[in-house]
């Protein structure tokens, strides 16, 4: 895909056309399917330490870049809200021959997963939500300021100013700054280093930071009777852990949130082994039971129920 060899590689390695648009994705392993949905400002590179471990455990793992994100197409006249992304995800599953699926969603990917699971609960066997947006939790105050101050004038923003803005936001996603090293930052920044990349960031991502989509789900969360896990960074600067507890109370299939001490919003970056542990614990729960039915809880270094 023309990326620098020194850069951290995204797991996506192929493309598929779904509903007339091109999505970049990866599809590895055999067995029960697990689909991973990234958030923002991100793409499938965030799952690079998670997907191989889940695949080796005996599962088919699929990761993909949301429309307008990463290495997927960036059509300027296409709705890329989380509601539209959920509809596209369902079509992607059909195109890949996937019926029932376990979904793992991070950040706005968690909203995409919630929407699909509430609209078609029979299709979602299990659900893991990681530092997800919900209710009126987003955009965060820092992103609200960017929307208010820069969204309408983003075309005049220089490449240097854009990169400084996004770098500052990326550094907020982790508590341990070593996990957001220069190589990691480069993987997130590189997809926006063209004029189209910068325009796309604001038009496909920031312009659609709108909590109306998750507020509409409030009355529908009771449909989530499949096993559901909630995984959160205790020091998430964008999504307060209070929302994890609110979701747990509203979702019939949920256990109490697993909270990772000393971690922030980008848990797949900061604590990938904990994410893998929680994914595999959830997959051990038989579909049609509650999320804690195996007796697996939130064991693991720094993780509290």
Segments making up each domain of the chain, as ranges: 14-304
Which pair of structure tokens corresponds to residue 219?
């009355």
Q: Which fold has domain 14-304?
A: Rossmann fold (3.40.50)
Name residue 259's beta-bridge partners: 232, 304
Per-residue pLDDT of the chain (305 residues; tens, 9 = 90+): 444 435 699 999 999 999 999 999 999 999 999 999 999 999 999 999 999 999 999 999 999 999 999 999 999 889 999 999 999 999 999 999 999 999 999 999 999 999 999 999 999 999 999 999 999 999 999 999 999 999 999 989 999 999 999 999 999 999 999 999 999 999 999 999 999 999 999 999 999 999 999 999 999 999 999 999 999 999 999 999 999 999 999 999 999 999 999 999 999 999 999 999 999 999 999 887 765 543 333 434 467 76
H-run or E-run covering 125: strand 124-130
Q: How many residues does the chain have?
A: 305
CA distance 27 to 213: 28
Read off the pTM.
0.93
Q: How many CA atoms lie within 13 A of 299 on its CB side?
A: 7
Which pair of structure tokens corresponds to residue 213?
């989509």
CA quadruple 47, 189, 179, 257: dihedral, nearest 10: -50
């Amino acid at each position: 895909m023309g990326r620098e060899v020194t850069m951290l590689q995204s797991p996506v390695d192929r493309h598929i056309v779904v509903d007339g648009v091109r999505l970049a994705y990866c599809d590895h392993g055999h067995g029960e399917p697990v689909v991973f949905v990234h958030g923002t400002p991100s793409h499938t590179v965030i799952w690079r330490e998670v997907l191989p471990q889940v695949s080796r455990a005996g599962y088919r793992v699929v990761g993909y870049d949301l429309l307008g994100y990463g290495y997927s197409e960036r059509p300027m006249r296409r709705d890329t809200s989380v509601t539209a992304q959920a509809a596209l995800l369902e079509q992607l599953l059909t195109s890949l021959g996937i019926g029932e699926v376990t979904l793992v969603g991070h950040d706005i990917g968690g909203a995409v997963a919630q929407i699909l699971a509430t609209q078609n609960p029979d299709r979602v066997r299990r659900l893991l939500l990681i530092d997800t947006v919900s209710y009126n939790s987003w955009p965060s105050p820092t992103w609200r300021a960017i929307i208010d101050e820069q969204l309408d004038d983003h075309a005049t923003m220089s490449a240097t100013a854009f990169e400084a803005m996004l770098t500052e936001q990326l550094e907020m996603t982790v508590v341990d700054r070593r996990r957001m090293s220069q190589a990691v930052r480069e993987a997130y920044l590189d997809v926006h280093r063209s004029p189209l990349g910068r325009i796309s960031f604001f038009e496909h991502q920031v312009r659609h930071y709108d909590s109306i989509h998750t507020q509409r789900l409030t009355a529908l969360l009771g449909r989530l009777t499949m096993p559901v896990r909630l995984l959160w960074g205790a020091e998430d600067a964008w999504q307060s852990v209070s929302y994890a507890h609110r979701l747990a109370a509203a979702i019939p299939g949920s256990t109490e949130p697993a909270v990772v001490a000393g971690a922030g919003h980008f848990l797949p970056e900061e604590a990938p082994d904990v994410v893998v542990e929680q994914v595999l614990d959830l997959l051990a729960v038989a579909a049609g039971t509650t999320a804690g039915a195996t007796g697996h809880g939130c064991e693991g270094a720094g993780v509290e129920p």
